[in-house]
Chain A
Amino acid sequence: MTGKMTPGWLVRVRLSRSSRLLLLLALAACAAAIPSVASPYAVSLTTRFIVFSILALSMDLLWGYGGVVSFGHAMFFGLGAYAMAITLTHAAGIGGTYLALALGVGVPAVLALALGFFLFYSAVSGVYFGIVTLALAVAFETLAVVNRSFTGGMDGLYGFAIPTIGLPGLVQVEVWGTENPYFAGVIGLAVCYLLARWITHSSFGTAIKAIRDEEPRLELLGYDTALIKTILLVITCAMAGFAGSLYTTVGFVSPQLLGVFFSTQVLVWVGIGGRGTLAGPILGTILVGFLQTILSGEFEDIWPLFVGMFFLLIVLFWPSGLYPFIQRSLNAARRRLGSAQVGA
């Protein structure tokens, strides 16, 4: 599937150790400053995008690195959100929150395991996975609408207990309002980013990239590619479920979260940002997210049209996406700067 696209993980801006550290500190300072300078609305919106970035990051691990196309990745996000919200309806407090988080991550992971067992261990090609996830996402969305007593139907879920984290009896933090969910999101994203970075730089990461590029060869070399893909699916779906659990603190848990259109948008975030890079999906989520907020406020019908055209764009004309483009431009600029200094 990579064909003509330059794999983003090959193009890397080389920064010295100290400038990397500086950049990281600057990013952390910005992240810490946002709640005190921005309006509560802007902070909540940013929190949503941060939570969606985690989802996009997990989609990118699956699609950009593993070459597995899923039209139902948001389904795992939605399942995580529903598992969290339903558990919190029945169990409050710190214990309830930890149980809810465990289920929010665990339920999607178990479904992913089952899906991997049936689809990756079968002798069918990757396109079947895409089609089956599409059908599953539609089915889950309909089920959530129909089973009113369990999921609240179209109205969604609300009025569940406030998620509380900390140590029982010592520290207790309610993850609610504007600031606390924001910081929970930022920490969650940082943890997931580091996890993704660790995965992609490990030998497991090399294996999934190899599966994306040339699965039959890896199979011939004796790798159990079905097992590797199943593990990847379980990890990424658990991550999506974690993002969904975080989402319950900022957003509305409704059937749309499970649906195909939401999954489609996640693919667009990753594709526009740059699949196969770690910063790309985060960048794509935030940019496309703001664009959507601006556009769909004005013309609601136009947005899905844009999403469709983004798809054609990232497949036919711009497979590498934004982040590798920025990296290349930065590198070129630095080279020009360097040669100018040498000339002077």
Chain B
Amino acid sequence: MDTAIFQILNSLTLISILLLVSIGLTITFGLLGIINLAHGEFFMLGAYTVVIGGEIGLPIFVTLIATPFVVGAFGALVEQTIIKRLYTRPLDTLLATWGLSLVVRQVVLIVFGARQRGSDALFSGTVPILGVDYPAYRLFIMAMAVAVATAFFVWVYRSDFGVKLRAVIFNRDMARAIGVNTRRVDRTTFAVGAAIAGLAGAVIAPLGTINPNMGLSWLIDSFLVVIVGGQAASGAVFGAAFIGGSESTLAFSMQPVVASVLVLVFAIVALRLRPQGLAGTGSRS
């Protein structure tokens, strides 16, 4: 019974992690339609911000709060210098952001070295829940995932900015005609996507190892989530539940590598059967 509860809690943790990582991508890819292959590097920069914060002696909660701003600023810079030129060329965006991700990865490698880093968690220890003792930090990650997802929905559906954003997505020319500064909406939205990716990196960092190449696997995971879930705002929730659920269930009975390959095959088949994603309604183009 205890193992079953542990198993359920662990898959909830995985789902929460995937949700945290992919919300940023849902914003840039799902809503704006920008394919950002440097998403994993934003995540990695978030993790490194925490490492640097720890090394210069800042309290962890301060770096956690600062990280989204640091990475968000970098995201705004990237949007202004690279993404801006490529809004009508999706395939070139794919290539340019991939080039950017290589550059960022390699610069971090040269500056910080290839060795693995770790970072301290905000708190440690376990708390009793449902009759088992479960690591408190994992529960914190679940809470963060719920909080960030909620904030994201409020931002898109209840804020003034969200109205402008949805107007731009719905009809860019009409939005501009009624006075929405679409350039600003693009830039802000991209920066927020990057900021959330950075926050996810900072929050998840203590659970794993931190190195310059960590971004790639997170990039793939979050794209799988968005591919399976669909580009709608709620896609990340469905996708994370599907990918996280199946991966943790499969990993129970086979090699983790084989499990992740099977999940990838699921995603490819899902793309054929349900191209609009689990949450979507229309077709994508």
Which residue of A is nearest B90, CB measured?
A127
State whether A69 touches B95 (Cβ < 8 A). Answer: yes
Q: Does B264 contact A (CB under 8 A)?
A: yes
Contacts of B70-109 to chain A: CB distance below 8 A = 82, 85-86, 88-92, 94-96, 98-103, 105-107, 109
Q: Does A309 contact B (CB under 8 A)?
A: yes
Q: How far is the CB of A137 from chain B (nearest CB, A)?
A: 10
Count residues of chain B with CB under 8 A from any CB of chain A.
Answer: 46
Q: Which of A69, A119, A305, A316 contacts B103, CB < 8 Å?
A: A305
- How big is the A interface, by class? 35 or more
Q: Does B188 contact A (CB under 8 A)?
A: no
Q: Does B1 contact A (CB under 8 A)?
A: no
Question: Given the known A-B contacts A308-B106, A315-B92, are A123 and B284 also in contact in the complex, defined by CB atoms under 8 Å?
Answer: yes
State whether A305 touches B82 (Cβ < 8 A). Answer: no
**Which of these binds chain B: A128-136, A161-169, A326-334?**
A128-136
State whether A135 touches B223 (Cβ < 8 A). Answer: yes
State whether B227 touches A309 (Cβ < 8 A). Answer: no
Q: Does B241 contact A (CB under 8 A)?
A: no
**Which of these binds chain A: B15-23, B43-51, B189-197, B266-274?**
B266-274
State whether A126 touches B106 (Cβ < 8 A). Answer: no
Contacts of B241-279 to chain A: CB distance below 8 A = 255, 257, 260-261, 264, 267-269, 271-272, 275-276
Q: Does B224 contact A (CB under 8 A)?
A: yes
State whether A309 touches B99 (Cβ < 8 A). Answer: yes
Q: Does B217 contact A (CB under 8 A)?
A: yes
**Which of these binds chain B: A16-24, A35-43, A48-56, A139-147?**
A139-147
Which residue of B is nearest A138, CB measured?
B220
Q: Does B124 contact A (CB under 8 A)?
A: no
Contacts of A253-309 to chain B: CB distance below 8 A = 260, 264, 267, 271, 301-302, 304-305, 307-309
> Interface of chain A, helix or strand or loop or mixed?
helix
Q: Which of A122, A139, A305 contacts B272, CB < 8 Å?
A: A122
State whether A138 touches B216 (Cβ < 8 A). Answer: yes
Q: Which of A115, A125, A132, A139 contacts B285, CB < 8 Å?
A: A125
Q: Does B3 contact A (CB under 8 A)?
A: no
Cβ–Cβ < 8 Å partners of A119 in chain B: 268, 271-272
Q: Which of B86, B103, B110, B269 contacts A308, CB < 8 Å?
A: B103
Contacts of A304-344 to chain B: CB distance below 8 A = 304-305, 307-312, 314-316, 319
Q: How far is the CA of A146 from the CA of B255 in the complex (A)?
A: 10
Cβ–Cβ < 8 Å partners of B220 in chain A: 134-135, 138
Q: How far is the CB of A75 from chain B (nearest CB, A)?
A: 13
Q: Does B283 contact A (CB under 8 A)?
A: yes
State whether B271 touches A118 (Cβ < 8 A). Answer: yes
State whether B98 touches A138 (Cβ < 8 A). Answer: no
Other 14 A-B pairs with CB < 8 A, given A126-B91, A307-B102: A1-B91, A127-B35, A128-B227, A131-B94, A131-B223, A132-B268, A138-B217, A260-B216, A301-B110, A302-B110, A311-B100, A312-B99, A312-B103, A315-B95
Write the residues of chain A forming the contact surface with B, with a CB cutoff of 8 angstroms: 1, 3, 67, 69, 71, 115, 117-119, 121-128, 130-132, 134-136, 138-139, 142-143, 146, 260, 264, 267, 271, 301-302, 304-305, 307-312, 314-316, 319
17 pairs, A vs B, C-beta closer than 8 Å: A121-B272, A122-B271, A123-B283, A124-B275, A130-B91, A134-B37, A134-B219, A136-B264, A139-B261, A142-B257, A264-B102, A267-B95, A302-B106, A305-B106, A305-B110, A308-B99, A315-B92
Q: Nearest 6 pairs between A and B by C-beta?
A: A311-B99, A308-B102, A308-B103, A305-B106, A123-B275, A315-B96
